[in-house]
Amino acid sequence: MAVYTDINEVDLKAFLAEYDAGELLSYKGIAEGVENTNFLLHTSKQPLILTLYEKRVDRNDLPFFLGLMHHLSERGLSCPLPLPRKDGELLGELSGRPAALISFLEGMWLRKPEAQHCREVGKALAGMHVAGEGFDLTRPNALSLEGWQTLWAKSEARADEVETGLEEEIGAELDFLAAHWPGDLPAGVIHADLFPDNVFFLGDDLSGLIDFYFACNDFLVYDLSICLNAWCFEKDGAYNITKGKAMIEGYLSVRPLSAEEIAALPVLCRGSALRFFLTRLYDWLTTPEGALVVKKDPLEYLKKLRFHRAVTNASEYGLIS
Ligand SMILES: Nc1ncnc2c1ncn2[C@@H]1O[C@H](COP(=O)(O)OP(=O)(O)O)[C@@H](O)[C@H]1O
Ligand SMILES: N[C@@H](CCOP(=O)(O)O)C(=O)O
């Protein structure tokens, strides 16, 4: 559940008065999500999402996230559009938190995505990469090689509580990735968290992408590796090559991949599996029992990481050369 900050009607009405958003009819907290507090608002004009940015989001990054949604939306990507206030600002404040109003996106996320949906996600991801060209703000990826080391330093001593031998295994993995991470690949704005819960569908049609709060600048194909990890494994831990093939074909139908990008895919998949393992491990070890947020299982990503370690060629992900 993710309603960390409560709001009252008087403050909300005062906040809304800064926008040309109509009269407030109703509002309710949204239980889903991990990072921020979200409310669904109905006004006399339109449904809206109100997001209050919580502590883990750096206030200095908000112009990047909100500006990016605006940029992508203007270029035809279906994603939430931040509403400007009457003074032109995209950001306000409510209950002591930075807060924004964004447009409501129709659709719901798929609990059991199939290969055809993975194809749509591949297309939409490449569409986002193309639409992101020309966005003039930049944000380095705080969750790449350096950030992993920082996170690991906070969890390393207790890692073996989760599985014996982890301290050694992850230490070696970090060394491997530091030595083999690609130096130069096509880069741009990536979503960096395009998991099933951040992609909406209406029936079998993809209706839009949400949750740009990990977006940053990095290798474009790294984003594809994140999606292969998030969408193409089954509950039993097996990689589903049919889904992977569909996702890669969908991506390639919009944006080609160079030989260097293809060759780098196995190591990038290792990196993205490690990235989600590390954030989950940190949360696993530090979230107090009884907290209102659902802790995600780090071992799911350890299994994926071990799978990628055995991959020698991108064709094992379903890529047909
Ligand atoms: N623009 C939107 N349109 C419709 N629903 C949204 C929108 N943004 C967020 N939501 C709802 O709020 C939930 C949590 O949003 P999300 O951005 O993923 O939060 P968090 O960053 O905390 O993980 C989503 O699963 C969805 O139900
Ligand atoms: N996708 C991440 C967690 C971030 O959650 P989100 O609700 O912001 O997408 C994971 O699965 O570890």
In angstroms, what is the span from residue 283 Cα to ligand 2's centroid? 11
* ipTM exceeding cut-off 0.85 for this assembly: yes
In angstroms, what is the span from residue 280 Cα to ligand 2's centroid? 9
261 in contact with ligand 2, CB cutoff 6 A:
no
Same domain, 50 and 116: no
Mutate to test the pocket of ligand 2, among 4, 54, 148, 195 (most ligand atoms within 8 A of CB): 195
Q: Whose CA is nearest to atom 23 of ligand 1?
A: 33
What predicted TM-score, i.e. pTM, was given to this entire model?
0.96
Name residue 102's beta-bridge partners: 49, 82
Which range marks the domain in which residue 139 is found?
Answer: 107-315
38 in contact with ligand 2, CB cutoff 6 A:
no
Instruction: Inform me whether the pLDDT recorded for 291 exceeds 90.
Output: no
Amino acid 18 reads E
Specify the DSSP class assigned to residue 280. Answer: H
Same domain, 85 and 112: no
Residue 140 lies in a domain: yes
Is 212:57 a contact under the CB 8 Å cutoff? Answer: no
If you compute the radius of gyration of the chain from its CA atoms, what whole number of angstroms results?
20
Q: What is the tens place of the pLDDT at every residue in 71-120?
A: 999 999 999 999 999 999 999 999 999 999 999 999 999 999 999 999 99
Is 79:172 a contact under the CB 8 Å cutoff? Answer: no
Same domain, 64 and 153: no
For the CA of 81, the nearest ligand = 1
Name residue 82's beta-bridge partners: 102
Confidence of residue 320 (pLDDT cuts 50, 70, 90): confident
Q: What is the tens place of the pLDDT at every residue in 220-243?
A: 999 999 999 999 999 999 999 999
Going from the C-alpha of 7 to that of each of 38, 48, 96, 192, 193, the distances in angstroms are: 11, 16, 10, 30, 27
82 in contact with ligand 1, CB cutoff 6 A:
no
Same domain, 59 and 36: yes
For residue 42, give the CATH number of its domain: 3.30.200.20
197 in contact with ligand 2, CB cutoff 6 A:
yes
Closest to 262 in 3D by CA, of 297, 219, 314: 314
249: three-class secondary structure by DSSP = helix
195 in contact with ligand 2, CB cutoff 6 A:
yes
For residue 2, the model assigns a pLDDT of 67
